[in-house]
A and B are shown apart, each in its own frame.
Chain A
C-alpha cells in the first residue's frame, strides 16, 4: 500500500518545485528490455551479508506420531511442534511419520483439534496442523477437513488494505483444508472438492479447489473437462492458468504460459502509463545512529 501516493500528483508537483539539486535521468522513459532467454550470470551486489550462522535443523528422528487417548493428544502436539521446526530437507521424513499414523483415529482427531485451537491464536500453526491432517490421507480426516472448509466467512470486520482481515484469514484456512481433501481423493473427499469449486462463497477457495483437483488428478484435458462442469461461468480461467507440476520443466511451464495467454487474450494487461520525468531530490545522509544491542 502506498498511502502517501493517494495524493500522488500533488506531491509530485511539490517534489519538482522543491528539488534542491540533481540531474534529470536521461534514460527514464526508455525500455530496459530483458533479453530472454539467456544464461545466468553473476551479479555484483552493493553489499553482501556476512556468512550465516550454521543452521540448526529440528532434531531427528521426529517424535512418534502414535498412541491412544490423552497420549495421542500429547504426541500429536509434540509432533506438530517438531514439524513446525523441521527443515524443508526433512519433509519426506515427516511425511513418512504422518502416513504411518493414518489409521490411528485418535491421532487424526488430535491433529484436527490442534488445528481448531490454533485458528484463534496462531494462524501459521493452524495452517501447519491442517496440512498435516490432510497429509494423513485418512478417511477419518475428511469430516474434520469438511468442517474446516465450510466455516461461515465473516462479512464484517477489520478492513486492512482493502480486505476484511478476519475473512481473509479464514479463507486461507479453508483453502488449506480443501488442499487436504483433494489429496485424500476418496469419493467423499472428491465430491467435497468439486462442491467447493462450484459452491464455496470464496473465489480464493474455489480457485484453490480447482488447482488442487488438477494437481491430484493429472493436469490433463479430461481433468479439465471434469472440472468445467463445476466451475462457475466467468471463472474458467481457474482451470486453465499455468501451474508448475511434477514432471514439468522450465520449457513446459513457459509453453503452458504461452498457451494460456493465447487462449485468454483478455488477461493481457494494458500498457502501463509512465508519468513525466522529474528531477531527483538531493541526497541527504542519515544522521549517525547507535547500533542495536542484545
Chain B
C-alpha cells in the first residue's frame, strides 16, 4: 500500500514537472496560422468569448500564452485562432455543406447538449497523439490537444487541423453521450492503414441529409451516423470546399490535404469522401 502511495506521489511530481516545462514551441507559427491571424489581427471580443465557451482554464494555459493572448506565436492564441475559424469560416451552404457552423461549434465547445456532456479544453506536451477526449470522474470531460497541432513544423500545425481535432475529440463525447464505445477500432483493418486504436467506419450520407444543428442525430442501423474520423473529414471538407470568401488560401490548401489523407487512410470501408478544389490552386 505504501509503495503504491509512493508511486502515486512520484507520478504526480513527474506530471507536475512536465507541466512546468512545456515543450510546445511558443515562439513560432505556420504560414497558415499567420494568414488567418492577419484577417482579424486580434479579435479581443472573440478571445474573451472563446475562453468562456471552450472552458480554457488559466491553470492549464498560463505557461502557454494565456496572458499573452494576442501573441500568435503562443499556444493559447493558436487555440482560439482555430476556434475563430470554426465559428466564422464556413459559408453554411445548405445545398452543398455536409453540416453547418452550429454543428461544428456544438461539437467542439464546452456546453452539455445532444452533442456531448460538458467538456473543457487543455493542452498537452505529449507528442504521441494529436488530441484526445478523456472521461473525467469529477466535473467536465476533457479534450487535450498536443503540440502536434500547434508547432509550425508539424504537419497538422495549422488552424484547420487544430479545429478538426476539436470536432473529432468532441465527437468522442457524442459517442459517450449516446452510449457508443468511445474507442476507435484497432487497425490496420480493411482499407484503414493506421495501426492501433485509430480506425473508424465511414457512414455515407448525402448532401442536405441533416439539418444544420442536427448532426448529432442518428439511426441505430447506421444509415445516419458519424464516427469521429468522419466528423473530422466532413468539417475539413466543408471548410475547404465552402469557406467564407475571406478565408486565406494557406488555410484552405492544407485543410483539403489533411481531409483527403484521413479519408483514404482512416476508414475500414474507405476511402471516404474526397474534397477540395480540382485545380492545384
User: What residues make up the interface of A, taking CB atoms closer than 8 Å to B?
Assistant: 1-6, 8, 11, 14-15, 18, 28-29, 31-34, 36-38, 40-41, 43, 45-47, 49-53, 55-58, 81, 83-89, 91, 94-95, 98, 120-125, 127-128, 130-135, 158-163, 165, 168-169, 171-172, 175-176, 179-180, 183, 203-204, 207-208, 211-212, 215-216, 237-238, 241-246, 249-250, 253-254, 257-258, 260-261, 266-278, 280-281, 283-284, 286, 289-294
Contact = CB atoms under 8 A, between A and B. Distances in A.
A132 B172 contact: no
Contacts of A121: 152-153
Contact of B245 (A49, A81, A88, A277): A88
A179 B280 contact: yes
Nearest to B160: A124
Contacts of B179: 28-29, 274-278
Residues of B contacting A: mostly: loop
Nearest to A211: B274
A2 B211 contact: no
B105 interface: yes
Contact of B38 (A37, A85, A268, A280): A85
B63 interface: no
Contact of A124 (B56, B113, B158, B219): B158
Contacts of B111: 46-47
A144 B273 CA distance: 29
Contacts of B201: 269-270, 272
Given A52-B88, A280-B117, A34 B247 contact: no
A91 B247 CA distance: 11
Given A40-B94, A88-B243, 13 more contacts: A58-B248, A85-B249, A123-B157, A131-B281, A162-B187, A163-B193, A183-B279, A203-B265, A207-B271, A244-B96, A258-B206, A274-B180, A280-B117
A165 B149 CA distance: 12
Contacts of B182: 2, 4-5, 8
Given A122-B152, A269-B201, A41 B180 contact: no
A83 B281 contact: yes
B206 A46 contact: no
Contact of A88 (B34, B50, B252, B260): B252
B257 A57 contact: no
Contacts of A28: 178-179
Contact of A274 (B69, B130, B220): B220
Interface string B202-244: 1110111111111011111110110010000000000001011
Nearest to A86: B249
Contacts of A269: 201-203, 222, 225, 268-269
B117 A292 contact: no
Nearest to A243: B274
Contact of B153 (A32, A122, A127): A122
B30 interface: yes
